[in-house]
Structure 1
Amino acid sequence: MFALDPRLQQDTLPIGDFPLCRLLLMNDAQYPWFILVPRCEEVSELFQLGAQEQRQLWEETTFLAETLKDTFGADKMNVATLGNMVSQLHMHVIVRRREDAAWPAPVWGRHPAVAYSAEQVAAIRAKLRLVLADDFRFVEGES
């Protein structure tokens, strides 16, 4: 049974589910920073997914990156799977802008996180509702 790593649970806000992945929002208002987590048990590496799951992860990642680039006006999209701090397989999809707090350096560890307000999260959810695919399911009870 799928369980989200406690550190991801602590640092993110749930948005919803694609067919394979749970979509999370990193709770740092300095960057539109999203994380895709395949809903698979005990997977820490891409090669541990089956061929169809690998394709699905890539399709969800590229769809999300393209959607976020257009929706949030990115200058560059950062897409990566690292897993040094959290071993559970997860894909970072980060909107980067030339004026963001860490540009052009990586976002990791550059500045302390600034938590989103409830209003900011609601605005992001509203933007995403307009652009996400029909097969995306938002977290129940969330607007």
Structure 2
Amino acid sequence: MFQLHPQLHQDSSLIGHLAGCQVRLHHDSRYPWLILIPECDGIREIHQLPQPLRQDTLAASCDLAELMQQTLQADKMNVAALGNMVPQLHIHHIARFEGDDAWPAPIWGALPAQLYPQTLLQAAIQDWRRRLNVLPSFLAAEE
């Protein structure tokens, strides 16, 4: 049975599902930041995913990054599966812009998180659900 790591639950909100993965919005409002989490227990690395979930996850990651870059006109997409602090496999998708609060440095540890106010968090989740709806396998989470 899949269980989301408590830190991922605390730091993000569920938007929906894409190709066997949760799509979550990170709560740091400084950056457009989505997290793709394969719903597969005990996996720390992409290469550990069973086929065809590995292929589906990589394709979903590419689709997500492309959609973010196109709809936001991002200067750079940072896509990473670090997992040094949270061992559960999760893939960060962060749209970066020249002049954003941490540019050109990595965002980790650059500044404290600037959390969405609750009303703006719900609006951001709805906006991402609308954007992601163009992807054929996207299923919005129930509210």
TM over 0.5: yes
Report if the CA contact (8 A) 2:12-2:26 is conserved: yes
Deviations 1:73-108 (A, max 9, x none): 200000011110000001011000012100000011
**C-alpha distance in 2, partners of 1:109/1:10?**
18
Report if the CA contact (8 A) 2:35-2:92 is conserved: yes
Deviation at 1:127, TM superposition (A): 4.8
The aligned length equals 141
Taking a change above 3 Å as real, the CA distance of residues 128 and 72 of structure 1, as seen in their structure-2 partners, is: farther
Taking a change above 3 Å as real, the CA distance of residues 127 and 52 of structure 1, as seen in their structure-2 partners, is: closer
Q: What's the counterpart of residue 72 of structure 1?
A: 72
Taking a change above 3 Å as real, the CA distance of residues 131 and 36 of structure 1, as seen in their structure-2 partners, is: closer
For residues 85-100 of structure 1, the aligned pairs below 5 Å read 85-100=85-100
TM-score normalised by structure 1 residue count? 0.92
Give unpaired runs (5+ residues) of structure 1: none
Q: What's the counterpart of residue 140 of structure 1?
A: 142
Taking a change above 3 Å as real, the CA distance of residues 129 and 97 of structure 1, as seen in their structure-2 partners, is: same
Deviation at 1:130, TM superposition (A): 3.8
Give unpaired runs (5+ residues) of structure 2: none
Deviation at 1:124, TM superposition (A): 5.0
Q: What's the counterpart of residue 126 of structure 2?
A: 125
| Runs of 4+ off more than 6 Å | none
Q: What's the counterpart of residue 113 of structure 2?
A: 113
**C-alpha distance in 2, partners of 1:25/1:130?**
13
Deviations 1:10-67 (A, max 9, x none): 1111111112110011100100011100000111111211231111111000000000
Deviations 1:93-134 (A, max 9, x none): 100001210000001111000111223541452254144313
TM-score normalised by structure 2 residue count? 0.92
RMSD: 1.4
**C-alpha distance in 2, partners of 1:79/1:63?**
12
